[in-house]
Amino acid sequence: MQKVLITGSLGQIGSELMCALHGKLGAGKIIATDVREPWKEILENCNYEKLDVLDAKAVADICKRHKIDTIYHLAAILSATGEQNPQLAWNVNMHGFYNIIEAARELGIKQVICPSSIAAFGPDTPKDDTPNETILRPTSIYGVTKVAGELLGNYYVKKYNLDVRGVRFPGIISWKTPPGGGTTDYAVAIYYEALKKKSYTCFVRPDTVLPMMYMPDAIKVLIDIAEADFAKLKHHCDYNVTAMSFSAAELAESIRKRIPDLMVDYQPDFRQQIADSWPRSLDDSAARAEWGWKPDYDLEMMTDDMLKNLRVKLGKDAIA
């Protein structure tokens, strides 16, 4: 039976992937890890252990002890946080991934899933319908580590025949977990503030267009690529995936259709420069052709679902 290790399991994607895999595989099959102390619900619903991915011995020990055959490596320092501490971002994102992939090679672990990001692209990359194979010259340390991680993963596929897979995620939007230090955090925070204050100060310009994805589709991506036929994969660690593209103003207008008196002002900060270096839309035809990727949510469907669930989550704090 499949035994799965998730690193970074208390993060935005990790916390929801953990629940999805627990429901899919059953109790006892998921080992959730992070460097932080878990909240009570985590301990009630899964096997949790603290793990620092920079500790190579601890990584190997936990894999051997639990007879892990699949690793979802989600532990990372994200783009905005990374710019504030580039050395930490390089250390966690690169040395952490190296420890994971080396443990997989040495222990004969069946599969490693390690997501990349649109941060792998840069200002020289075509902005619209960005192709899967294109110029990769990122200008953020997060992007640099993602390009290096893609190359390292593909190297291990070719050199050691290790099954390493990854996708370039766009911005991820979720009602379950708060923003986590990424450049696209505004696309999550605006929903919270719309319900709590009916106002939001956005840190990018209103005309900033980025590719995005709702969390249920992001979880679907990770499960689908893990289940894809290895023989049909041509890219392995660097598949473009997307669901929608919209501007910050279009996002605000989508919410305003449901909360008419929402007020939004725009005060771009250092994250604007990062956003400007990323694509406006992605060509994900390779993922669609090679393993059948297809999103379920568009902007209006996502907004309906976000507001419905956040009203319940926020309870009395929701005034809209």
| Annotation marks residue 160 as catalytic | no
Residue 246 bridge partners (DSSP): 210
CB 138 within 8 A of CB 83: no
Kindly give the pairing relationship between strand 70-73 and strand 47-50: unpaired
How far apart are the two ends of the chain, measured CA to CA in Å? 47
Q: How far, in whole angstroms, is CA 36 from its chain's centroid?
A: 18
Name the percent of the chain in helix, strand, coil, to the closest 5.
50, 15, 35
251 contacts: CB under 8 Å, gap ≥ 6 = 187, 190, 299
What is the distance between the alpha carbons of residues 301 and 306, in angstroms, rounded to a whole number? Answer: 9
Please name the amino acid found at residue 59. Answer: V
Amino acid letter, 112: V
Distance (Å, whole) CA 246 – CA 269: 19
Residues in contact with 26: Cβ distance below 8 Å, sequence separation at least 6, in sequence order? none
Residue pair 101/72 in contact by the 8 Å Cβ criterion: no
188: tokens are 């999550």
C-alpha 236, offset from chain centre: 17
Question: Which of 142, 239, 266, 297 is labelled catalytic?
Answer: 142
- Helices 299-314 and 248-256: crossing angle in degrees, nearest 10, is 60
Q: Which residue is it, tokens 């699949």?
A: 70
The torsion defined by the Cα of 275, 78, 282 and 164, in degrees rounded to 10, comes to 160
Cα of 222 vs its chain's centroid, Å? 10
Q: Known catalytic residues?
A: 142
